[in-house]
Structure 1
C-alpha cells in the first residue's frame, strides 16, 4: 500500500451523458472512454500525485446520472471533500439541471464541501452553453469554474490547479 501525506475524496456529479466517466478516465489513466454505456450506480478510481510538495492520494467517485441511481449516490455526498458538478456544453438541459444537483449537495453533502463547476465537451462545435454563462452560474454559487475536454485533455491532464481548492 502506498503511503501519502494527504487523502482527498472527490465526487463527479451531473446528468447522464455529460462525460463524467470520460473525464475520470482521462485524468487517471490518460485514456479516453467513448462509449454509450452509462455508469451503473457508482464507480471509483485512485490517482497519486504531488501537490505543494505533498504526496496526495485522490479517490474519485464517478456517479451515475440517471434518476434511478440518485438514492444510491446521495449516500456518498457527506464523505466527499470535493464535488465536481459537470454539465455538457452542448446540452442546455444538463446545464439547467446543475441547480438541482447543487440543491442535492446542500441537502446531503457536508457543510464545508468544496465545489467546482465543469463545462465538459468544450471541443464540440455545437455549443449550447457559452463559457460566460458557465462562469456566471459558478459565480452565483460561489465556486470555481472551468471548461474541459476529455477528448483533448483540456483542463484535465495539465497541472491540476483546480485541485488546490481541495487542499487541507
Structure 2
C-alpha cells in the first residue's frame, strides 16, 4: 500500500459513476477514496466532477476513472450522457434518510437504461457512522440488492469505513468479468496481456485496455 504508480503505468482503465440523490455523500466518498480527505462543508456537485485512482487487482494495475454525478433533478438530463462507457457504478443512499433509499429504484432504472447489461453495480448505504439516526435497515437494503443482482456495502466517508473496500470490490469484479469474457470461461484470468483486443467497441467509450509499446494505441472495452 502507498506504492507510487505513474499516471500512465496501468493495464486497464475503467470508468465508474457515482449516482444517487443529492447530499448522500457521493463527493466525500470519492474524495475519501482518491485523496483520503473528507470535507464537512462539501458543496453540492454541479453537473459532473471527475477523479482518478490506480489500484492493484489480480497482479494488474487498474486505473479507475471516477465520475461524480450531480444528484439534483435539474441536472439529470445533463448527466445522463456521462453514463456512456461506464462499466461500474456505486449507487449511493443515506442510511439516515429513507427517501434517498426509496429513490434508488429510479436511479437504478436510469443507470440500466443508459449502460450495458453487464455493468457491475454496488449499492452503498453511506453515513454508517450515524447509526443512531438510522432510517434504512441493513437487511432491507441487502434484500433489495440481492433482488436486483447488485453488491451491497455500508460505508462512512467520515471515518473511512468500507470506502476503499467498496470501490476495490467493484473494480475487482469488473476485471474478473472482463477476463472471463475474454477467455470465454477458460484460461487464467490474470494472464491477459497488454494490447489484446477485447470486444472492440465504439471509440466514444471510456473504459479501455492499454496497448503495449508506445502509448498511441488503445483498445476499447464493452463488458
User: TM over 0.5: same fold?
Assistant: yes
Q: Does residue 1:129 correspond to 2:136, yes or no? A: yes
Q: 1:154 to 1:83 in 2, by over 3 A?
A: same
Quote the Cα distance in structure 2 between the aligned partners of 1:157 and 1:49.
10
The Cα shift of 1:157 comes to 3.4
Larger Rg: 2
Aligned to 1:77: 83
* Residues 52-110 of structure 1 deviation map (CA, whole Å, 9 limit, x = unaligned): 11111111100100001101111011311101100000000000000000110122222
Structure with more of its chain in strand, by fraction: 1
TM-score normalised by the chain length of structure 2: 0.72
Q: What residue ranges of structure 1 are gaps of 5+ in the alignment?
A: none
Pair 1:52 & 2:52 matched: no
Root mean square deviation of aligned Cα:
1.4
Q: How does 1:1-168 map to 2 (within 5 A)?
A: 1-124=7-130, 125-157=132-164, 160-167=168-175, 168=178
Displacement of 1:111: 2.2
1:36 Cα deviation after fit = 4.7
Deviations 1:103-132, CA, capped at 9 Å, x for gaps: 101222222211110000011020000111
Q: TM-score, normalised by structure 1?
A: 0.95
Tell me how many residue pairs correspond in the alignment.
Answer: 168
